[in-house]
Structure 1
Amino acid sequence: MPPSRPPCVAVRVPVGPLSLLLALSLLSPWGSAGGSCPQRCVCASNLLSCSQANLSAVPAPLPRFTAVLDLSHNNVTRLRADWAPARLPHLHALLLSHNGLAFVSTEAFTHVPRLRHLDLSSNRLRTLDENLFSDLGELEVLLLYNNEISTVDRTAFENLGRLRKLYLGQNRIARFPLELLREGSRLPQLALLDLSANRLRAVPAGELQALPAWLRDRLYLHNNPLACDCLLFQLLDRGRRRHLSAVEDFQDELRCFLPGASSLTKILDLAGKQPLNCSKAREAVLEAHLGDTVTLGCDSRWQGVRSRHWVTPGGERVLGDGANGSVVLLANGSLQLRALRPEDGGTYSCWVAGPLLNETLYVELLVHNFTLHGPHDTLNTAYTTLVGCILSVVLVLIYLYLTPCRCCCCRGTEKPPAPRDDSINSSVLSATPNHAGGTGEPCGSHLASGAGAGQNGRFKGGGSPPLPARQGPKAQRKVSDPDSVSSVFSDTPIVV
């Protein structure tokens, strides 16, 4: 029989205030392992708030487990490289707004590589130096608005491959940083760029129009002293028709200077207004020629599109390659048309299922009825008829006025009389009157130097010798000439 176990006895251990504080310090990240909460700061879990604490420098040492550090509304005018002497691997948000900050070291972010949110707004920064933020490879949001920034180094935003939102509004920037937006540039994931309330006088409207709509929807250009331009008007007018928030929400603040004017004009009111007289551009119209290969882009406002499909002008839904391989649905949602035909023209529809709402885009394709290089493959029927009529008129004129005349050049010379029996060969339907002898010799062969003489002084056979001169009052009468006017009712020539 196994021995019985002794009964369990509860032992009461006295707990004092010191032991309770020790237990809480072991559970809190601000315990001995992580450091103590700095003076004049409020610590809650991994949050450290030192806002409005009248600090002139970053408090030290900072707890290692700090994830959010709020230093806004203080007097930290310089952010040196040693503000964080130890590595802060968990810090992902740093707030330094409203500090009068005028200097930031290029090595200031060496010990905070996991930073995702950086707020440097409402300070006195004037320049963004070379490789200033290059250590922040995971940064997603950068706030630099309401500073005095006038110079931005081309490499200031190097290595920011994950940056999605960049706020540069209310500064003194006079040159548009187009390199931030070009495809494959330093900021491949940039989805919002705020350049409002700066000193921009011109923007590359043509290149901005080529940007995807989801980026143009978050490109803010209002409150800049822009010069009025029709390309700028068409860029913003397309954005208004597409209901892009950067245009639709700031229509009154989008203004420009007309040439010679001292006051600002609303950019969206430039349609038909002198002296520019801008015209509204058609939305998504693509022109091509026979045999070309074109790609129709589905320029949606939404990022992270779940699905999309195309509908042809004939109402057919495109799910993959066409029957003959002439229609291809690309991986990025664009529709490619190969070896264009006249019947491929029309309005194509792209149906987009976005994360919030659905969107339908329309692309009008105009196919010109000829190839881009070389002669036209087909001619318009009216054009062909016109060419034929003109050619016929030219041929008739050539026939009437440029046909060689056999006798008109010889009216000034005395011609030998034709035999009277030649009149029987005359006809009112004959194009050319019969000549003496019927040999068809040109008039130039009848020389005045000798009657009946041919070329080289030889006698020309087939010619009729001239009649001897008659005496008397009838001597002035001539023998009937075949070239004289004939009656249309008689085959006998009229003798003059």
Structure 2
Amino acid sequence: VSRIITRLTVTALFSLRNLTICAFTLDCNIVSCSKMNLTTVPVNLPNYTAVLDLSYNDITRLRAEWTTYKLPKLHNLLLSHNSLHFISTEAFVYVRHLRYLDLSSNNLRQLDEYIFEQLEHLEVLLLYNNHISQIDRTAFSGMISLQKLYLSQNLVSRFPVELVKNKTRLQKLSLLDLSSNRIKVLPIPELQSLPAWLKNGLYLHNNSLICNCELYSLMTQWFLRRLNSAVDFRDDYTCIPPGADKKILRVFELNVHMNCSTFNESMEETFLGQTLVLNCDTRHREMSKTWMLPGNIIASPGNNHSVEVFPDGILKISSVKLEDSGQYTCFAVSEHLNETLYVWVKVHNFTVSGTGDTLNTGYTTLVGCLASVVLVLIYLYLTPCRCFCCPGQGKPKNHHEDSIHSSILSATPTHEDMATKAELSRHVAFIDPKDLQGQNGKVNPSGVEELDDEARQGKGMRKKSVADSISSVFSDTPIVV
């Protein structure tokens, strides 16, 4: 009897010890083990656990056996501010339904292949403030639901281009924070081809970028589009010029230091007969898009048979003509915001091969020149009834008529010079300067008033956006969803 009582007492004390280590909240399914000086993950966690907080401890390894049974309801796992330097590739086998994983502020140095493959439901992954220098190209494979990936404040020296490539891209990824790393070179062609809603959440400031005009053009384009990644951290984009001079320069000032040309945005050039595709490249996804053609004509079925608007907002113009030149406007609207994009289209007056129309134009010009020369020769040498053969040449001149002509065409009434001047000045045209003037005395042939600079450039008041990288990367408060 005494032995049975002793065993029951030990079991009760062990259960009581587990309860005192972690705080259980039954109504919210939250298990909080934060700041308990733990070196391993507690065992025998309740299978109803939805949120497990293990932050601010001294856990060094996350082994495959940290849980030996499935936790199907666990969707938030917080392991920030530990001493993690090893994560098993099978550590997440029994927690496949995680949606939020916080591994920030640890000692991780590399991400092995397929380390997060089991987390196909994960939406947010925090890895900032570690010592990560190596990322396997397959580390994030299988994460088809990942939306936000935070890798700032690490030692990453290579841009993980496989995350944003068209064929291997994480389709739902909308935020990739690679700020405060050691990246020197960016894959600029790949970044230029990204949709605006992805570039809007691509943070690259505070890196060791090498200065060049391509980098300046890329970042200037992002800033002109008012993308959060460029606008909110404009002063934090710096670079180092190539060569011996290691002076740190601001990326947005390279047009002064390296004589880079200013980027001209939203300009498309095409040729006669080509097919032109215009993309309404908005900063956010799933927006309702409407196109306005030159002349303030809404692009809709029936008003222009050569123009087609697709459900994703792409405008297609078949067999481009000269009258298709002008400004195209895309109005994008969603429940909480709207955006307006302007695209200027210039159509060249010849085909892309430059054969048919160019030859016709040159032939027409040559024929016109020859005709002009022939007309001039006829005018000079074959003019009928010149003065020496006129019937009344021998008659005395009418002095009264001469006085009238001299008073109009000559300041000095000399009858001998008058006849010569009259022959040389056959046609005289008087043009009133007032007909060529617009407002403020400036010549304005088109008769259209010039727009104000601010109105023409489309500038306006813009509130500073709340970037996701600010609230999550620099906050040590555990996030509970």
* Deviation at residue 152 of structure 1 after TM alignment: 0.7
- State how far apart, in whole Å, the 1-side matches of 2:108 and 2:326 are: 53
2:145 is equivalent to residue 162 of structure 1: yes
TM-score, with normalisation over the residues of structure 2? 0.70
Distance 1:382 1:105, change over 3 A: same
SS in 2 for 1:252: helix
Fraction of identical pairs, as percent: 50
Q: Identify which of 97, 105, 115 aligns with 2:88.
A: 105
Q: 2:284 aligns with which of 273, 277, 302?
A: 302
Name stretches of at least 5 consecutive residues in structure 2 with no aligned partner.
1-14, 374-481
Q: How does 1:43-442 map to 2 (within 5 A)?
A: 43-45=24-26, 46-260=29-243, 261-271=245-255, 273-274=256-257, 276-305=258-287, 307-320=288-301, 322-324=303-305, 326-378=306-358, 385=365
Q: Distance in 1 between matches of 2:317 and 2:205?
A: 38
Question: CA separation of 1:86/1:255 partners in 2, compared to 1, >3 Å: closer, same or farther?
Answer: same
User: CA–CA distance in 1 between the matches of 2:54 and 2:66?
Assistant: 12
SS of residue in 2 equivalent to 1:142: strand
Give the Å deviation of 1:376: 4.5
TM-score, length-scaled by structure 1? 0.68
Change (3 A) 1:37 1:193: same
Q: CA deviation at 1:319?
A: 2.3
CA distance in 1, matches of 2:367, 2:177: 59
Helix, strand or coil for the counterpart of 1:291? coil
Describe the SS at the equivalent of 1:207.
Answer: helix
For 1:174 and 1:387, the matched residues in 2 are separated by: 65
* Counterpart-to-counterpart distance in 2, 1:65 and 1:35: 19
Going from structure 1 to structure 2, the CA distance change for 1:170 and 1:392 (only over 3 Å counts) comes to same
Identify the structure with the greater helix proportion. 2
Give distance in 1, aligned partners of 2:80 and 2:363: 72
Contact 1:290 1:369 in 2 (8 A): yes
**Deviation of the 1:299 alpha carbon:** 0.8
Q: Choose between structure 1 and 2 for higher RCO, CA contacts under 8 A separated by at least 6 residues.
A: 2
Q: Give the deviation of 1:184 after TM superposition.
A: 3.5
> Does the Cα contact within 8 Å between 1:320 and 1:328 map onto a contact in 2?
yes
Alpha-carbon separation, structure 2, partners of 1:83 and 1:383: 84
8 Å contact from structure 1 (residues 311, 350) kept in 2: yes
**What do the CA deviations read for 1:150-179 (whole angstroms, capped 9, x no partner)?**
111111111101100000111111111111
Question: 1:408-453 deviations in whole A, cap 9, x for unaligned?
Answer: xxxxxxxxxxxxxxxxxxxxxxxxxxxxxxxxxxxxxxxxxxxxxx
Q: RMSD in angstroms over aligned alpha carbons?
A: 2.3
Task: Determine the C-alpha separation between the residues in 1 that align with 2:169 and 2:18.
Answer: 38
Question: In the TM superposition, what is the alpha-carbon distance from 1:320 to its structure 2 partner?
Answer: 3.0
Q: Deviations over 1:89-146 (max 9, x none)?
A: 0000001011110000000000001000000011111111010000001000000111
Question: Between Structure 1 and Structure 2, how many residues are aligned?
Answer: 356
Deviation, structure 1 residue 44: 1.2
Larger-gyration structure (1/2): 1
Deviations 1:343-381 (A, max 9, x none): 101110000102321111011111111111251415697
